[in-house]
Amino acid sequence: MKNSTEKKPFPEKDMLFLPLSRQEMDERGWDAPDFVYVTGDAYVDHPSFGVSIISRVLESAGYRVAILSQPDYKNCEDFKTFGRPRLGFLVTAGNIDSMVAHYTAAKKKRSYDYYSAGGKMGKRPDRATIVYCNRIREAYGDVPIILGGLEASLRRFAHYDYWDNKVRRSVLVDSRADMLTYGMGENIILRIATLLSKGVPIKKIRDVKGTVYLAKKDEKIHFPVAVTFDYNELKTDKKKYAEAFGVQYKNQDSIGGKAIVEIYDEKMLVQNPPMPPLERDELDRVYALPYMRTYHPSYEAEGGVPAIEEVRFSVTHNRGCFGACNFCALAFHQGRTVRSRSIESVVEEVKKIVRLPDFKGYIHDVGGPTANFRYPACDKQLKDGVCASRKCLAPTPCPNLKVDHSEYIRLIEEVERVEGVKKVFIRSGIRFDYVMYDKDERFFKKLVKDNVSGQLKVAPEHCSSAVLRQMGKPDFDVYEKFRRRFFELTKSFGKEQYLVPYLMSSHPGSRLADAVQLAVCLKRDSYAPEQVQDFYPTPGTASTVMYYTGINPLDSKKVYVATDYKEKQLQRALLQFNRKDNAPLVAEALREAKREDLIGFGGECLIRPLGSNPKRKDGERPSSRKTQAKKGSSSNTKSKKQKKR
């Protein structure tokens, strides 16, 4: 691969950020914007950020969009910065839910915000979508307000809120906005903008797919309705709430999905069926728009926006995920049907990255929700949509599953040929089960030989079959086969590479005995995770419904849930049994699980007896991780810090 010695400047001189201030709007000669886009994030004009994509899509259609980033939410003055927009306000909390951005799974306040300049906390309020809308109403009364982004999308129905520990109303109801868009919003917002610009009142726009609106109970609904639920029942009846989520989940396909209605006293909330996903040519056009590919220069004095570092030299090539893990909100947001960009489109974007002044020759990722998906799981999905009653990969692969990495291989190879590219890595999560189901090992071999940056992140999540079933993951033996083959290939290529498995404690279905089983597995494989993800009940996932109701909404069966704080502590400590400060908790967990046999000096023991002398004869000490590595252990024996998910 060639390395360019002369770089052209990028971005191009005639490219501009969208207005972030009144002065920047005036410099463009605008009397007023068509839309003011309010966001809880700092303004980063990069196609990994929803605000950037939607605003550039609107701009390409001829609309004027001004960005109101992280306004002072304590009063309404900042919301008057650009004046009253001609068509309305667009509102998003940002790239992630504002409560998740602010609080850990233990409900502790975070100290760092990746989406704010300098990582500074406090730039957006809790429940940002609601607060911003209230301030807009104070400033302009009945101006049209349209919600979008992840927070709105995942809170569009009545939803269990972990922080309030109750079922809250739809965010559309609480925000007093006029409309909510869910999922991937390019075609949705273009349709709404067209109607608004033609003079159609926002409260008359009722037939756009991918939208949610409030109406009188007797108003006509434009699409067939799957079911109607009453919020007054959902907030008190856990069985009914689980049933409602199951119906919602099964109607999130653009081909088979129907409208869903929730009653709020004298009004009804209507979710229209999903908008069809963007096809390849549409995705190519979206990613060809003139993004500046960095944060607005006004943030430079604060050190920039940390979130750009993860994506600056990376490319997204697909959308959607048919893996559909129960703890992941992708199925409820992007959907389970996969679409991808053309190889030519990705290569053109890489050529732009190569021209960035600080590019060193390394493409950090060519990925997406799941890196190694390029097409829908089967041909049937193109005609009939996704199956409502089963998953494509778990617990076992569907007989109709098409497994083919050939185009993804060509994509990576074409990117590697771009002048100036030294190396291409794949750092997005790959579905290791999908890799193992491929009888052709060309992708697996290429991945191990060329595209691993020392460590490959994978997500077995657990080893207990009972827990994995509730997660919607394949059985652990699939991961073990992948792990063995990964290290066989690594050795055959003369490399030193490692797997970094993501692990989760206290997921619904996990009892103390399951956590002990996972700890024993980690001990056997000589793997000591630096960080473990405790299950985080966030809106829009089946696992969150399980946590709240004790019912799996996809099969209506009861599920054990560890909600007691002490038990969650014990499960988490077991996964990091090697830490000295965890020893008392691990000992307590082992006693409760009646596994005192794992307390001692044998090689199979997790901890020594509390208060014992650590200096024993070599023959009585458990093998160290270093010793086990020399014996040929195939796990990651490095003690590198894993990044938080």
Query: Mean of the pLDDT values across residues 213-220?
Result: 96
pLDDT of residue 365: 97
Distance in angstroms (rounded) separating the CA atoms of residues 573 and 534: 10
Over residues 607-633, the pLDDT tens digits come to 999 877 655 543 333 333 333 333 334
Q: Residue 12: pLDDT band by 50, 70, 90 thresholds?
A: low
Q: How far apart are CA 499 and CA 522, in angstroms?
A: 13
Rounded Cα–Cα distance for residues 201 and 217 (Å): 19
Could you please report the per-residue DSSP string of 121-136? S-SS-TTHHHHHHHHH
Q: What is the pLDDT of residues 128-137, one digit of tens each?
A: 999 999 999 9
Does residue 320 have a pLDDT over 80?
yes
User: Tens digit of pLDDT for each residue in 572-596?
Assistant: 999 999 999 999 999 999 999 999 9
Query: Over the stretch 392-418, which tens digit does the pLDDT of each residue have?
Result: 999 999 999 999 999 999 999 999 999
User: What is the pLDDT averaged over residues 113-129?
Assistant: 97
Task: List beta partners, residue 599.
Answer: 607
Task: Give 41's DSSP letter.
Answer: S
Question: Which token pair is 164?
Answer: 């309030």
Q: Does the predicted TM-score (pTM) go above 0.75?
A: yes
Q: What are the tens digits of pLDDT across the range 341-393?
A: 999 999 999 999 999 999 999 999 999 999 999 999 999 999 999 998 889 99
CA 27, CA 19: separation in Å to the nearest integer? 9
d(CA 402, CA 438): 9
Rounded Cα distance, 46 and 367, in Å: 15
CA 556 to CA 242: how far, in whole Å? 8
Delineate the domains of the chain, giving CATH numbers in brackets: 22-271 (3.40.50.280), 499-645 (no CATH)
Q: For the segment 133-155, what is each residue's pLDDT rounded down to a tens digit? A: 999 999 999 999 999 999 999 99
Residue 550, helix vs strand vs coil: coil
Average pLDDT of 274-302? 97
Largest CA distance in the chain: 85
The pLDDT of residue 644 is above 60 = no
Q: Report d(CA 489, CA 539) in Å as an integer.
A: 40
| Sign of the Cα pseudo-torsion (357, 361, 366, 369, in order) | negative
Identify the pLDDT of residue 14: 63
Average pLDDT, the chain: 92
Question: Going by C-beta distance under 8 Å and a sequence separation of 6 or more, which residues neighbour residue 477?
Answer: none
- What pLDDT digit, counting tens, does each position of 466-519 carry? 999 999 999 999 999 999 999 999 999 999 999 999 999 999 999 999 999 999
Q: Is the pLDDT of residue 267 over 50?
A: yes
pLDDT tens sequence across 51-100 = 999 999 999 999 999 999 999 999 999 999 999 999 999 999 999 999 99
pLDDT at position 15 is 75
Please give the pLDDT value at position 635: 45
CA distance 188 to 177: 16
Q: DSSP state, 582?
A: G
Structure tokens at 441: 């090992």
In which band, very low, low, confident or very high, does the pLDDT at 116 lie, cut at 50, 70 and 90? very high
pLDDT tens for each residue of 530-551: 888 999 999 999 999 999 999 9
pLDDT at 610: 87
